[in-house]
Amino acid sequence: MFKVAVIGASGLLGRTIAGELVRQQDWQIVQTTFSRPMPESVPLDIRDASAVDQFVERERPNAIVIAAAERRPDVCENNPALARALNVDAVRAIASAARRHDAWVLSISTDYVFDGTAPPYRYDATPSPINAYGRSKLEGERALADAADLGCVLRLPLLFGPIVDWQESAVTSLVPAIAASASAPASSGAKPAVMDAWAIRYPTYTLDVAVVVRQLLERHARGEAICGTVQWSGDEPMTKYEIAQRLAHALQMDAQLTPQHTPTDATPRPYNCQLDSARLEALGIGRRTPFDTAIREVFALFPWRG
């Protein structure tokens, strides 16, 4: 029996990874949660190194997928101690426990480890993060490399997928503003929704990422574990303004949108961190669902309730 622990199985990405893995025959999936408990999940605070060690000692998984993290750039900027606890120290604790039991560890990282000035970025490009989130995730990558004998980092860009609320993804978080701009009468004097039209992003569907994770785990199960750094990304470049236009079209809303062509975020964000996925593609790993198809699937599962 091949046993996989999914750490952070109640989050945007963790849910889809766990959902993909539980369908595999002869695999046993152990799911951990913390802030959002689920039936049949194991409660685990990954900031507690002793609890992490006891969990790995008890479950003895063949592989561990770390989908738990602090991924909100503004929160990381304002609370670097929390960012470090979740994105660095917890990764080190999990990797150290895994090493004692010869488990392979897959840790999720981000395109924000790059400064966005020289895309596309290969997996071996030199990182240069410009905000606290990117720095914490880069430190987490190094913590995994230092602590794990069998460790792999999977870098991902902006994610979207099945949600429990609009704010769970930076993509779907645009929907309330889009809806408000569409519903405001022209005579009301309401301003259109202003959307960033400067930074370029590559929205990536969590269900596609779950397939990538499953394929990586299948390699490990065959004794062909992939280690080091790999990257996966959608291949459709968009600004938030362009994303909002496509969301409005999918929702059949006549949204009033205004592009903002200069960066306005309080937390610095890179311009274009396009990730090169060639290392995984060369191995026959990966799947990409067109954005318009994927976002309609998301809306079908979580329809707009205006």
- What angle separates helix 175-183 from helix 240-250, to the nearest 10 degrees? 60
Q: Which residues are catalytic?
A: 133
Torsion angle defined by CA atoms of residues 131, 132, 136 and 139, in that order, rounded to the nearest 10 degrees: 60
- Quote the CA–CA distance of 270 and 134 in Å, as a whole number: 10
Those residues with Cβ within 8 angstroms of residue 264's Cβ, 6 or more apart along the chain or in another chain:
196
What whole-number distance in Å separates Cα of residue 211 and Cα of residue 168?
Answer: 20
Residue 55 half-sphere exposure, CB side, CA atoms within 13 Å?
A: 26
Strands (DSSP E) found in the chain: 2-7, 27-33, 42-43, 63-66, 104-110, 151-156, 159-160, 193-196, 204-205, 228-231, 257-260
What sign does the dihedral 92-93-96-99 (CA atoms) show? negative
CA distance 298 to 52: 33
Q: Which amino acid is at 15?
A: R
For residue 121, which of 106, 142, 138, 104 has the smallest C-alpha distance?
138
